[in-house]
Chain A
Amino acid sequence: MKISKKDVLHIANLAHISLEEKEVHQYRNDLEKILHSIEELREVETEHVKEFFNPLKEMAHLKTTSTETQNFEDRAQNSLSQELVLKNSPDAQYGQFKLKSIMEPESKP
C-alpha cells in the first residue's frame, strides 16, 4: 500500500499536527511499512463476518449484564466551581477560556 507525501500531509492536517519536512518523510516511511504488514488482513475472507466493536456486546449470555443500558436519572449534581474549571486553562478572562481571536467564526464545522 503506497502512501504519498500528500497523503501524509492530509492526515496530519486532519489530526491537527504540523510536521517538518524530515518528519513527513519519516512518517511516510513508517506508515508505509505498517500498512504493508496490515495488508495481510486481506488474506482472510470476512464479507459475512459481523463486526466486533466492544467485548460487552458479546456478553449477553451473562444474566447480570442487562440488555438495558444503565442510565442516570435526570437529577442535577454539583458542577465544578468556575475556578476549578479554569484552573488548568492556559489563558482565561472574564470567567471564560481565552484564545486569540478566531478569524472566521461562521466556518465552524
Chain B
Amino acid sequence: MDIFEAHQKLKAKEISPSELTRQCLDKALKSKNNSFISIVEDFAHQCALESEKRIQKNGPQTYLDGIPFSLKDLFITKGIRTTAGSMILANYIPPYDGYVSEKLKKAGGTLIGKTNCDEFGMGSTNENSYFGPVSNPLNRKFVPGGSSGGSAVSVLEGSSFYSMGTDTGGSIRLPANFCGLISLRPSYGRISRYGQIAHSSSLDQCAPLGKSVTDMACLLEALTEYDVRDATNVPLGTMSIAQDVHQTPPEHLKGKKIGVYAPFIDACKPLVKSSLEKALKHCEEAGAKIVTIDLRHLKYAISTYYIISTSEASSNLARFDGIHYGLRESDGQGLEQTYQKSRSRGFGNEVKRRILLGTYSLSAGYYDAYYKKACQMRRLIFDDFQSAFKSCDVIFSPVCASTAFPVDMSQKSPTEMYINDFYTVPIALAGLPGLALPYGKGENDLPTGFQLIGKPFGEKELLKIGRALELTY
C-alpha cells in the first residue's frame, strides 16, 4: 500500500491512523535491521490520535494526514534527538524545528522515528554510522545502500509508508535502487534545506523515498512551500500535481524522447545491463523514442564531486567543535586540545577522510588546482546536460553499475567505493531532478533499476513520464 492508496482508505474510513501507526511502530520496534536510531513511540501515538480526530470530523486534510513516516536522522526535529549518525551529536536535542519536520507535521503525518544513516551523509552503504550498520532485509549479506539506508529499509520492512532522506551525490537514489523502491531527487532549490544538517551545501537536497511515483508527487505537494529562511530555495510556489501525476495514462509516453548515452549502459554488470536494456525496450514499446546523447564529460563527475563535496563539507563540519553543543572531550589541556580531541573522537573514519581531503582542496596553494578546477569541470558537466536536453525530454541512466555491494566491502577498501557513485553524482552537480525507478533484478538476484533525469525544475513532467512507465510494467 502506498501513500495514495492509504489516503483513500483513510478517507473511506476503512482503516484508522492509529491502526496504521501501531503496525508501523510494531515493525520498527521489532526490526532486526537497525533501521532506526530513535523511535518516538509516544509522539507517534499522539500524532495518530490527532489525525484521527481530524479525519473523523472532516476527513484527511492532506494526502499525508494520518500516514506513518520516518525521517533520516539528518533532519532537525525540535525536542527529538538528532544525531546525523554520528557520535559527535549522539545526545543532541535540537532547540528548533526544521522545514521538513514542520511541514510534515503540518500535513498531519505521524513520525515513527529517525532513521539510521551514514555519518553526516557520507557513504554509500550505511556502514559508516556510529549506531551500527543497517541490514538489507532482502539479503543480509548485502548492504541496503547509503547514505539513506535506514530510510529505504524502514519502507521496505514496513515500519513506515515513506521516508524523507537526503541526496547529495546519490544518497537517496542508491538505497532506493538497491532495495527496489522509488525515490526522487528534486531540482536543487526546489525544497528548503533549512533544518537539514548540511553535508555539501551546493549539492544537498531533501529527497523522498517511497513505493510509487504518485507518492513522490504527494510529497512534493507537502514540501514545496517557499521558505524565505533558505536563500537557495527558489520561490516557484507550492506544487499541486498529485492528481495530475496519478492520472497520467501510459499514452503520455507516446512521442517522448528519451536520451541515452550508451557507454553508461555498457559499463554496467551483465545482469544489470540486461535489465536496463529491457527497460529501454519497454519505453520504446510504450511509444517513446530513444535518442542518442553525448555526456562525455560525465566521466569526470566523480573527481569533480569529491573535490566540491568534501571542500564544502570540511567547512560545514567545522561547527562541530565541542564548544556550544555536541561532544566535548574535556580532558584536553587547552582550547586546541579540546577541539582536536572532541573532533577526533566524535567523527568516524570516513568523515575524517573527507574533511582532510576537503581541507586540502581549499588550502593555500591548492585552491586553483582543485576547488577552482572542479568548479570549472562542473560547468562542463552542466553544459553536457543542457546540450542533451535540446534533443530529448528526459534522460535515461543507470543508478549503479551493480546491484547491492557485499557487506564490509566499504570498510576494507573505502576509497574504491567512490567510483560507485559514478551515475548518481552528475545530476547533483548540475542541480537536475532525478527519479529512481526499480526495474527487474540484477546480480545476486537483487533489485536493480534506472533513473530518469529531468530538465531544471521539470519534476512534473519527470513524474508524469515515470508514472506512465510505471503503469506499463
Question: Which residues on A are within 8 Å of B, measured CB to CB?
Answer: 3, 7-8, 11-12, 14-19, 23, 27, 30-31, 33-35, 37-38, 40-41, 44, 46, 49-56, 58-59, 62, 64-66, 69-70, 72, 80, 84-85, 87-91, 97, 99-103
Check A38 against B307 for contact (C-beta < 8 Å).
Answer: yes
Q: Is the CB of A55 within 8 A of B415?
A: no
Looking at A8, A37, A41, the one whose CB has the most chain B CB atoms below 10 A away is A41
Interface stretch of the complex, out of B357-365, B396-404, B440-448 = B357-365
B324:A88 contact, CB within 8 angstroms? yes
- Partner pick for B330 among A44, A88, A91, A97, CB 8 A cutoff: A91
Count A-B contacts at CB 8 Å.
172
Q: Which stretch, B155-163, B171-179, B366-374, touches the partner chain A?
A: B366-374
Residue contact B231 to A69, C-beta cutoff 8 Å: yes
Q: Say yes or no: A16-B363 contact (C-beta < 8 A), given A30-B414, A44-B300, A100-B332.
A: no
Please tell me if the beta carbons of B374 and A90 are within 8 angstroms of each other in the complex.
no
Q: Which residues of chain A have C-beta atoms less than 8 A from B326's C-beta?
A: 88, 90
Q: How far, in whole Å, are A101 and B330 apart by their CA atoms in the complex? A: 12
Asked if A41 and B457 sit within 8 Å, CB to CB, the answer is: no
- Which of A14, A16, A44 is the most central at the interface, judged by chain B CB atoms within 10 Å of its CB? A16
A54 to B344, CA, bound (A): 31
B415 near A70: Cβ-Cβ < 8 Å = no
Closest to A37 in B: B303
Within 8 A of A (CB), among B74-92: 91-92
The verdict on B202 contacting chain A, using a C-beta distance below 8 Å, is yes
- Given contacts A15-B343, A46-B377, A99-B335, 7 further A-B pairs with CB under 8 A are A18-B340, A18-B344, A34-B357, A41-B377, A49-B380, A52-B379, A88-B324
Query: Do A41 and B347 have beta carbons less than 8 Å apart?
Result: no
Q: Is B330 touching A51 in the complex (CB atoms < 8 A)?
A: no
By size class, the interface of chain B is: 35 or more
Cross-chain contact B376 with A51 (CB below 8 angstroms): yes
Chain A nearest CB, measured from B217 CB (Å): 20
Complex Cα distance A3/B370, Å?
14
Distance between Cα atoms of A76 and B50 in the complex (Å): 33
Given A16-B339, A59-B234; A34-B375 close (CB under 8 Å): no
A23 to B95, CA, bound (A): 35
State whether A87 touches B338 (Cβ < 8 A).
no
B355 proximity list for chain A (CB < 8 A): 15, 17
